[in-house]
């Protein structure tokens, strides 16, 4: 299996040559070349979700926005139509009230944060597994820690196929040695497939001390997986990047 975590970046019209409209061809070319089985996208605005559905015909694209009205950014999961069937799907909010759309922790930014939880069956092997795709808060370290703890508790409490292997990934907005990452390190049975991957957020290679380059994107594995390979997608074309984050591709069986 090839799994990719990909912060595709919102299109606010502020990135010049790296505006989303200029990155579209490079993104499609790379996905066509690599043919990942499942992609966890973050920062998917509504118009980007429409574009993904229209331009990835070999994939189903699922996930809703984080806002109270289910608009705004979504944690989208794209999966191959001919390889997987979806058993269950839910979005929950990282908050004390996870099933209240738009809710959040008091200590986080104004942005609600969500996780998309999808349970799949591999139609070739019959294997059932879970994917959780998330994007933790960009301002509050305590909110990030609470979000991670909530997702880990969610996995422990899962009733439907609660013991199946898990792929847990996304943009955690936290460096590997940060305080908020401790819940992952203190939980038995988790493997950080992206350990030592280096810089993942490059900010379109701008030297900005207020938004420095850092390692904040992760793929975490739990259960019966054998990691074969992990790499960053670092392609550029005429100064245009795939995103302001390097997508990370992990291969495992």
Are the CB atoms for 114 and 100 separated by under 8 Å?
A: no
- Determine the pLDDT at residue 131: 98
Burial of 114 per CB tally in 10 Å (0-12, 13-18, 19+): buried
The predicted pLDDT at position 14 comes to: 67
Rounded CA-CA distance 223/225 in Å is: 6
> Running DSSP on this structure, what letter comes out for residue 107?
T
pTM of the model: 0.96
From first to last of the 253 residues of the chain, give the pLDDT tens digit: 999 999 999 765 667 889 999 999 999 999 999 999 999 999 999 999 999 999 999 999 999 999 999 999 999 999 999 999 999 999 999 999 999 999 999 999 999 999 999 999 999 999 999 999 999 999 999 999 999 999 999 999 978 898 999 999 999 999 999 999 999 999 999 999 999 999 999 999 988 888 889 999 999 999 999 999 999 999 999 999 999 999 999 999 9
Phi/psi at 119 (5° precision)? -105, 125
Element (H, E) at 55: helix 46-55
Angle CA(115)–CA(131)–CA(122) in degrees, nearest 5?
150
User: What is 2-252's CATH topology?
Assistant: Deoxyribonuclease I; Chain A (3.60.10)
With the CA atoms of 163, 62, 71 and 248 taken in that order, what torsion angle do they form, in degrees rounded to the nearest 10?
A: 80
> Would you kindly state where each structural domain of the chain is located, as residue ranges?
2-252
């Amino acid at each position: 299996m090839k799994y990719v975590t990909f912060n595709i970046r919102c299109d606010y019209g502020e990135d010049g040559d790296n505006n989303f409209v200029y990155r579209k061809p490079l993104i499609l070319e790379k996905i066509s070349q690599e043919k990942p089985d499942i992609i966890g996208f973050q920062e998917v605005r509504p118009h980007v979700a429409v574009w993904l559905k229209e331009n990835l015909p070999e994939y189903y694209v699922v996930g809703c926005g984080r806002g109270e009205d289910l608009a705004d950014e979504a944690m989208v999961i794209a999966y191959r139509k001919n390889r997987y069937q979806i058993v269950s799907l839910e979005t929950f909010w990282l908050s004390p009230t996870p099933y209240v759309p738009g809710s959040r922790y008091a200590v986080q930014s104004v942005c609600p944060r969500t996780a998309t939880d999808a349970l799949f069956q591999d139609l070739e092997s019959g294997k059932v597994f879970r994917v959780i795709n998330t994007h933790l808060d960009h301002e509050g370290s305590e909110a990030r820690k609470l979000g991670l703890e909530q997702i880990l508790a969610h996995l422990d409490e899962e009733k439907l196929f609660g013991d199946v292997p898990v792929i847990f990934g996304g943009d955690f907005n936290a460096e590997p040695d940060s305080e908020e990452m401790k819940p992952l390190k203190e939980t038995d049975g988790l493997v950080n497939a992206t350990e030592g991957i280096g810089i993942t957020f490059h900010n379109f290679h701008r030297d900005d001390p207020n938004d420095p380059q850092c390692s904040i994107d992760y793929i975490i594995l739990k259960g019966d997986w054998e990691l074969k390979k992990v790499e960053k997608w670092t392609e550029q074309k005429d100064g245009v990047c795939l995103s302001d984050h390097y997508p990370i591709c992990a291969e495992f069986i």
